[in-house]
Structure 1
Amino acid sequence: MRFQAYTKEFSKNLKIAYPVMLGQLGHVLVGLADNIMVGQLGAAPLAAVSLGNSLIFIALSIGIGFSFAITPLIAEADGASDIEKGRSFFQHGIIMCLLNGFLLFALVWAVKPLLYYLDQPPEVVDLSLPYIDIVAFSLVPLMIFQAFKQFGDGLSQTKYAMYATIAANLVNVLFNYLLIYGVWIFPRLELEGAAIGTLISRFFMLGFLYFILKKKKKFSTYFIWAKKSLQKHIFKRLWNLGFPTALQMLFEVAIFTGSIFLAGTLGTNPQAANQVALNLASMTFMIAVGIGVTATIRVGNQKGRSDFVEMRRIAFSTFLLVFIIEAVFAIAFILLKDILPTYYIDNAEVIQIAAQLLVIAALFQLSDGLQVVILGALRGLQDVKIPTVICFISYWIIGFPVSYYTGKADVLGSMGIWLGLLAGLSASAIMLYIRFNYLSKKLINQGVVKTS
């Protein structure tokens, strides 16, 4: 197939993806705003935010993973023009996400004392605990928001969640400024102020998206609650897709969280540098997440139509698109490695370590982008169990041991930690590609047999 057969899909892919990219970047920018504003208070507060968010992100990955089950089901129903089925998935998904929000809040609150036993700097742990308490509660509105977002994504209406996220970021920056530093009539709360800003912004984000979707005529049918009682088989289908997806995200987020804990054993400055590099890498990763959601939507649509040849071509167009974009980011990281960290903190050692890490981050941009988009395509096929095993092997059998052994102070230190991340992401991208290539060819062959 000629190159143009894939590139001609770029404009449609980007039309769906760019609101998701901006929306996902919005979530990262909440952390970026916290990091930059808290970074002005010193290395220890910045490391505390890093440590606190590492715990929150583990819970967040589980919740978002479950919510991702909504999108392929809505996309398939939309491809088959079955509004009734789509409405059922949407409404059951809201209830699932609501329950997940409260469960995750309780989970974070229960496990936070474990931070004292992970060989972290004591002053960093002490600073992080009040921050964690407040941000953990923000998981409740965020999970409900995710239900509405994934519903909109499944219908290829990705722009409304973007509007909500951008508006929420403005709210977050405003309250961060007022509450971290104690401006005007507001008290100086430092880290707790950053956490309160995040909490306020997430409630605002949920309310904003709810009212936008509810008043739009195209969504009105979905907001009419079904007369039938809740159905066990719908929850089971959401679980069968959501639980493996949650594990996929958990395995990946956990290895990055593990890098934070490993960096903490090297000291406060390496941990702060690790957070700077991770935050920058997270922003480029969210671009790939947007294309991954696009892959889920478009593959799910074609699955609903049983057009597997077109499905494979469209999926490969998303793989090529993310490869090109991430290559550009990789070059930018290398060229700007000494400049980007200076926007976070004025500490020569932290800046030097972060610059070294950005070189490795540049290398794994390609693997990271490809693996998340291929995962999205597999999710569109509703193939989640084997990819979950692949993620576990890649990150925890291959990646983390490399990080652990080469990340010790007497070996390669921070650089060794990130070499493990590179190994895990590369293994994941290769194995997931093999899986999608196999499944898509199998579906095409089955279609040919049925037709003949």
Structure 2
Amino acid sequence: ELKAIFKLTVPNVLTYFFTSLLPIWTNYSLGQLGALELGAGAFSHTLCSLTGLCFIFGMATALDTLCSQAFTGSEDKKIVGLYLQRGIVVCFLTFIPISILWLNIGGILLYFGSDPALVDLVRVYIKWRLLSVPPTIIFECLKKFLQAQGIVKAPSYIMIISAPVGVIINYFLVINPSTAIGFEGAPITIAITMWFSMTICIMYIAFIDGKQAWGGFTSMAFTGWSPIIKLGVGGMMMTSIEWWAFGAMTLVVPSFGAAQLAAHSVLVTLDNLCYMLHLGVSISASIRVGNHLGSRLPNKAKLAALCSYFFSICTAVVASIIMGGFASFWAHTFSKDQEVISIIIRLMPIGVVYQLFSSFNAASGGILRGEGRQFLGAIVLLAGFYVVAIPLSLYLGLATPLNLFGVWIGFVCGLILSSALYIYSFMKTDWDMEVQNTIDRLEE
């Protein structure tokens, strides 16, 4: 089981690592245009994530459960392809109100007093970013379709190809003086790259591997949405609760001054980098647990969960070494300001502790998705982030001299609570009952 999870985890880590490269490069390229463009790009990206993508990615987590369980639990493997089509349709329906919000976001920002110059750029960014959402939905669902079948190398191959292509397109549309079209080149690059990634993924399934679970287009994709919606709503809650919590933290930090904001940005960047490790384990956990439950093997499902926790400890150790072992290196790499460097080095031990519990939480979320218990995950995250993390961060950050340190301590405490709740839920899990729930779900 350890070997199986390891084989799944490495490609998954590569997939999400290369996926994260384009947004990083986009910020760099916009920084070459000026402070306003950089700020507008970063703000627009955050806005898209918190008001749209978190719901779409959350809804797509229904396929983590259904596809992985159906692949081993159904005699007809083509039921996985049916779930894929239903997932895509429901995700597109989810996108309709999101698109209406995005098209009117400029007026909303102006109403709340945002800088008109910033709003103009945000409108441009979101207009083009809308074009990237359809391929993003399809590609995200196709990834889960492949991953459920144990085909995890394909998405990593696709992103290894797509990420450099996106960087090259971005260079010519944003940076290169003779071909650049300015700020709008950044969201256009994202749209082109996502359409490219989706196309390659479809071709891979059609001509190389994965089509054995594809039964062709069917009108049944427009019926039987209940399992998708039940699981997807819980997944949306899990994703949005976590993403919004980090958004709330980011809103508080600027009040602490430029130096602490800069240090916070460095810690967040490193955290996002390390989270790719944890996310790889999380996806692997959902695949293995779901596959075993579909095969009616409760003991193996429990073993897969335990092995996933073991790997979460391993990735936490690696992340801790990356952050804590090279604290001075990262501080001097990201900044030349001595005050910022000092804050980063002093803050890093808290970041290391944060990684330990972040890894455990990611693995737990993957296990629950494999079981189909997204709502339980949402409740745990709600308690961890909104009962403890945010209130404690606000108090320690704003009412004590700790400032930025208090914000991070508050979030660590929230992760500790959610980890404890995850442990309790794992210990109370009736794996035989989860097998029965899987059978009922596939028959629904």
| Counterpart for residue 164 of structure 1 | 158
Cα distance in 2, alignment partners of residues 446 and 195 from structure 1: 46
Pick one of 396, 408, 423 that aligns with 1:406.
396
**1:430 paired to 2:425:** no
Deviations 1:26-69 (A, max 9, x none): 22222222233444556665444432222222222211111111
Cα distance in 2, alignment partners of residues 133 and 277 from structure 1: 31
Cα distance in 2, alignment partners of residues 36 and 338 from structure 1: 22
**1:369 paired to 2:359:** yes
Cα distance in 2, alignment partners of residues 417 and 116 from structure 1: 29
Cα distance in 1, alignment partners of residues 167 and 151 from structure 2: 27
Query: 1:339 is paired with a residue of what secondary structure?
Result: helix
| Counterpart for residue 441 of structure 2 | none
CA contact (8 A) 1:39 1:344 kept: no
Cα distance in 2, alignment partners of residues 39 and 341 from structure 1: 20
Deviations 1:119-163 (A, max 9, x none): 988876676554344335422321121111111111111111112
CA contact (8 A) 2:149 2:210 kept: no
Query: 2:401 is paired with a residue of what secondary structure?
Result: coil
CA contact (8 A) 1:255 1:421 kept: no
CA contact (8 A) 2:263 2:344 kept: yes
**1:57 paired to 2:49:** yes
Deviations 1:374-418 (A, max 9, x none): 111111111122221111111111111122222238632222222
| Counterpart for residue 290 of structure 1 | 280
Change in 2 beyond 3 A, CA 1:123/1:235: same
Pick one of 204, 217, 232 that aligns with 2:196.
204
Pick one of 6, 13, 16 that aligns with 1:24.
16
Deviates most, 95-104 or 235-244: 95-104
Query: 2:414 is paired with a residue of what secondary structure?
Result: helix
**1:66 paired to 2:59:** yes
Task: Give the unaligned 5+ runs of structure 2.
Answer: 438-444
In angstroms, what is the RMSD of aligned CA positions? 3.0
Pick one of 232, 237, 244 that aligns with 1:242.
232
Pick one of 49, 69, 73 that aligns with 1:76.
69
CA contact (8 A) 1:36 1:344 kept: no
Query: 1:225 is paired with a residue of what secondary structure?
Result: coil
Cα distance in 2, alignment partners of residues 207 and 172 from structure 1: 14
**1:334 paired to 2:328:** no
CA contact (8 A) 1:47 1:272 kept: no
Cα distance in 2, alignment partners of residues 132 and 265 from structure 1: 27
Cα distance in 1, alignment partners of residues 431 and 150 from structure 2: 26
Query: 1:392 is paired with a residue of what secondary structure?
Result: helix
Partner amino acid for 2:204? I
Cα distance in 2, alignment partners of residues 247 and 126 from structure 1: 31
| Counterpart for residue 250 of structure 2 | 260
Change in 2 beyond 3 A, CA 1:195/1:347: farther
CA contact (8 A) 1:17 1:290 kept: yes
Percent identity over paired residues = 23
Deviations 1:414-447 (A, max 9, x none): 2222222212222112211211221146749999
Pick one of 176, 181, 200 that aligns with 1:182.
176
Deviations 1:185-226 (A, max 9, x none): 31251x433322222211211111111112235415515123
**1:311 paired to 2:301:** yes
CA contact (8 A) 1:40 1:345 kept: no
Change in 2 beyond 3 A, CA 1:142/1:441: closer
Query: 1:156 is paired with a residue of what secondary structure?
Result: coil
